[in-house]
Amino acid sequence: MQIEIWSDVKCPWCFVGKRRFEKALEGFEHKDQVTVTWKSFQLDPNLPDHYDGTEQQYLAERKGIPEDQVRAMWDSLSASAAGEGLDFRFEDVVVGNSFTAHRFLHLAKSQGLGDEAKEAILSAHFEQGKDTSDTEFLVQLGAGIGLAEQDVRDTLGSDRFADDVRHDIAEAQTLGISGVPFFVIDRKYGISGAQPTDLFAEALDTAWKEANPLTLVSPSRSGAPSADGEACGPDGCS
């Protein structure tokens, strides 16, 4: 089973959704046969690399959200995050463009560290108040998960993986994805938003059963299928 997840590292619901999806996947009987691929998405591609202001100022100035509404939104998000074992600290969030962070994530993915990088960068942004648009911080973060410092510097100092990020974003547009997180299962099922864990679990089970219909075979001594074996039904047992 192939699962693609579009998300932005600056999106709080993406972190909450990641946790809920992981819980569902952990309880999925066939989890060892599931491949998860993280895809890039930008909620605000026009942001400068470093926004000169707080998260609250950003939401007020660029999104037009009143302060009292921002506070209510933060309280609700923080409560949802806490329910998943996350400690959001919106007052400490550093606002900036996520394109560099997405290139960093593609580098990590190319070296088999995509999951580790995604977890680390989301935690850094929402729980630790780190600047995930800053090259020096990403060098440090990368070293912590096993990436070579020089490799991170060389990548972020060039346009490496820029086309990969743009391709992910273009692909999202083709699929009609306008918000994140967005989960796509085997390019047949789409799940929008940080849905409850039970919904993710149901979707995994449904997609698996559709892709792997149950075939009952009772081999005979010759190795060919034989008649049904003993069983019980609505009218009794054979």
Output the pTM of the full model: 0.88
Q: Indicate whether 70 belongs to any domain.
A: yes
Does a structural domain hold residue 167?
yes
Taking the C-alpha atoms of 32, 37, 38 and 41 in order, what is their torsion angle to the nearest 10 degrees?
Answer: -140
Residue 69 lies in a domain: yes
Domain count, the chain: 1
216 lies in a domain?
no
194 sits in the region (left: phi over 0; alpha: psi -120 to 50; else beta) called beta
pLDDT at 219 over 60: no
Across the range 24-49, mean pLDDT stands at 96
Quickly list DSSP for 116-171: HHHHHHHHHHHTS---TT-HHHHHHHHHHHT--HHHHHHHHTTTTTHHHHHHHHHH
pLDDT at residue 190 in the model? 96
Q: Is residue 64 part of a domain?
A: yes
Q: In this structure, what CATH number is given to the domain that contains residue 188? A: 3.40.30.10
Is 226 inside a domain boundary? no
* pLDDT tens-place string over residues 120-170: 999 999 999 999 999 999 999 999 999 999 999 999 999 999 999 999 999
Residues spanned by the domain of 102: 2-211
pLDDT greater than 90 at residue 236: no
Q: Provide the pLDDT for residue 222.
A: 47
**181 falls within a domain:** yes
* 186 falls within a domain: yes
Res 221: pLDDT: 47
The residue-averaged pLDDT of 187-195 equals 96
3-state SS, residue 210 = helix
